[in-house]
Structure 1
Amino acid sequence: MCSDCSSDHVLHKLNRDHKLFPVDQLDSDEYVTELHSRQNVLCDHNNKEPVEIYCPVCKKYICATCMFLEHKDHDCLRIKTAADKRKEKLALLVRPIEKKSLLYDQFKTAAEDQKKSVEEGRKKAKSQVNNQMELVIKMVRQHAKSLLEEIDAKSNAKLEVLNALIATATVEQNQLDDVVEFSRKLINHGNDMDVLQMASACEQSSKSVQNLDIPTLPTAMTQLQLITNDKEECVTNINRCLGDLVPAVSGRLVTSFIVGLSKTPEEVITHVTTDTNGDILIGIWCNEDFSRNRIHIYDTTFVLQGTIQRAAEKGGFAGVAIDDDGNIVTRCQCSNEIIVYTKTGDHVRTFHSESPQAVAVNSKGHYVVAGRNTLTVHHKNGKVLQTTPDPGGVIYFKYIHCNVNDDVIVTDPGDHHIRVYNSTLQLKYRYGTKGDGDGQVNIPRGICCLDNGDIILADFNNHCLHLVSSDGKFKQFLLSSNGLRYPRDVTISHLGKLVVGESNGKIKFFEL
């Protein structure tokens, strides 16, 4: 209604208790409260008494009388109390959804960052190609100029020799012609006395020119020829000059945090992994006191959410993997057990596996266990599906990872190399020898894989990471100049960041 009507409305005696609200306040808390206070729902047993109670069993609103009669054993509550309880329950349900929504925000932000990086990379790579092309063209032009100058120099040198020989031949031929001309004149036109008098001189001149040697042409080839490679080799050389297009690792440190570790007794980081929600799971090892071995679970803001720890009398455990149910899979070599927990620390199952040192989960959800001397694939219920010998793991514990093709990568720190098996546990290749050069490692630790099958390997004593091709060829060192110190494990986060766990407790996130 308009302002005039609203003024007249409240003057009527039947409307004096009415409260008017402007249209733009219909969403306000005050309006909603006033509306609810004026609603008067009557109980359906007599349509006289207002409802005040909620029956959770019958899921209906009732009056106080009905609560003591028909609903006396139904744990009825006042409507406001029941509503408050449901609000609390809804709030508990909403919290993880809100958290997940934030993860989507993080994902979209990371995706936008990657898009920006892709565009920057595109611009940079194109500029590099154009610059390299200009350099190749400049080099070709310089070489062509040198070849042209060389052609002129060599041709001129040969022409000088030939011109000198022609000049000599001309002089000597003139001498011959002079002798012939004089002799012919004497023969044809001289009188007898002239002939007798000058014949001796002519004979002497003839003998002299007869001894002249005709110049000899050089035996060298008189023409120059440009020798070129065949077309394919030429294209190959040009391509080699232009370079190859390969993924570049940014290596920019995005963020980091520190896990609190004890110095006495000494504790170290052993394993790092992340789950699909972005939570970070950190394995902590204490060689002096196995009861201190534990797994910390951090959220995406690096706030500790929980800790999984085993009773001291059951032996220490280590290793962290996430199965397809979202459970945490770990191992205990002391008791020859694979143990599975929920993320809240509830025990799910335990089964036997001989001397387990590391565990991973393949695409089928099977547990792949690197034992001290064997490699075994278990069903998640513990049944052995496959096994093969895999010696090693005497001095240091092994690490293990399964790639998207279910290849199994096992690091053997004591022997300074990794072994890669296919999905049927047939050995494909080994990578690494002891050292600090290309393809050399010094105590290899954790591994992870890129989508294209390339392997990222933590090189503990060389303080760097290796990028290894899917067929076992060294490609490049990663983060060798980024101040890594004793990297223990590596993984790829749900946002595509490279996560490195250092022995001293630092967890670092890098751009790939």
Structure 2
Amino acid sequence: MDPLDRAQLLLYCDLCQTTALQSHCELCQINLCKACVAEHLSDSSQRHNVVPYKDRTSTPNYPKCQNHTQKHCELYCEKCDIPVCSTCISSGKHKGHDKSDILVKVSFKTKNLEKDLIELEKRIYPAYEEIALDLNFEIVNLEKHYEKLKTAVTKQGEDWHLEIDIIVNKLKSEIDEMKNKQLAALKEQENEIKQKTLEQKQSVFDLKKILDSNDVSLISMYKSRNAEFRRLPPKVDIALPSFSFHQIDTEQLYQMFGSLSALSMTTEEHGYTMNTSEAVSCPPVKPLLDKPEVVTTIDTGYNLYSVTCLRDEEIWTSGYDKVIKLYNLQGKLLKSIQTKSGNWPQDIAVTRSGDIVYTDLKTRTVNLVKNEQIQEVIRLQGWTPCHVCSTSSGDLLVTMVSDDEEQSKVVRFSGSTQKQTIQFDNEGKPLYSFGISCYIKYISENRNLDICVSDCGARAVVVVNQAGKLRFRYTGHPSTTPGSFKPLGITTDSQSQILTADTYNHCVHILDQDGQFLRYIDNCYLFGLYGLCVDTSNNLLVAETDSGKVKKIRYL
């Protein structure tokens, strides 16, 4: 049976509200059960006309005036939005107001009631039902997916020594925590949908009751809720986490075992996505070394601007050269890729799948190198792409500057589709510098999904959250010579610490995720440092533009 039909199975007496109606008083326009008919007729002051409910007339009686009880309202004051009687009119209170026939007004409102009923039954209620079904489907799939995650973690743990059991249990706990948060979000919305559905059922019931009763007072007082119900609830978009395997390395047991991707949930409303992602899985906290040390130095032989890596054993570099080069840690050149245009790339990044992306200022493009084949992913008009990073979700974050150098912004792309623009703070002021120096803005995504930009022109590190809201600006340590802090390369590590290159002062600043200064890396003879990246073992790679060297530094 249609759930909306259940509301019309039984109509109750208007007096006792407990017994099914049988009769109808056409004078008073109320429904009565058998027991209440006698009580109603006992009022001899009125000439009641009680008829069987099925024989009630369809023409409504004029309602009694609220101010003049002996009068009936035959007109409707449009300005005051109330029925009025002849005495109300003669009193002058409604002088100059537009008036209409009460029956015409009732007919108009009745049509609106019928429209609301049709919309509720045919459009709004089915839409909510569909959302509820989708939510139920997602909940079932979510349960299955998390069970698969547990199985994957368990299988990986069985291949290791018994010592790894501690890590397996920790990851399972994190999975349960992530599942519970996403499940809670879905069930919360499911409960909201159920509540709205109940309210809509009640509205349908009330509307049918009003229409069946032909009660002019009820019709006149009716206030539609359809506008409220038309606003369908936002959709909670669950991005299911995954488990990433790594090769076994007893020295880096926890890190090499694998990690969960960040818990991600987005709420979609009117085409806009507000992200509420939360990073859950965090490795054990490692203290900073008092004296960071250079572990390896690789001499590339050309001026470097960027360095990036996917595996700890290999690094990609780019600089003042049309060729992007791959080296191992012994300094051996493994692969060379020439840019499609023959221009030198402004910046490079490695995607989650191990492909290379690079920006080309002159062609205004972002390009993907896959299987040594170059394909154009993004082409801009009116804007020039500068620096780029690949996010944990697989999106690309690109810093860019307008052709007139009067604007700068960060844009998030999914493939070639623009998803988000970050340009202004809550007061409408620019987040990033503009002008001739605005082309240098290295970018990195933190583990907590903050977006970190080293704004050289503003002499600041600008950090916003995933939604693009400003979290903080770091303008250098107080001990730094005023105006000398001009950050270039920027990267983040597994502890959400932010590392940025300070070329002028020949050091790297280490900040916590809230922008608090922790320490310098200033004892490693760093000169002309530009690009930075951190490998999976939390070693820092520094690209020196003048020397053409990449230095691998252990700082944790």
Task: Report the TM-score, using the length of structure 1 for normalisation.
Answer: 0.47
Instruction: Tell me which structure has the larger Cα radius of gyration.
Output: 1
Q: Give the strand-richer structure, 1 or 2.
A: 2
Task: Report the TM-score, using the length of structure 2 for normalisation.
Answer: 0.44
Q: Give the helix-richer structure, 1 or 2.
A: 1
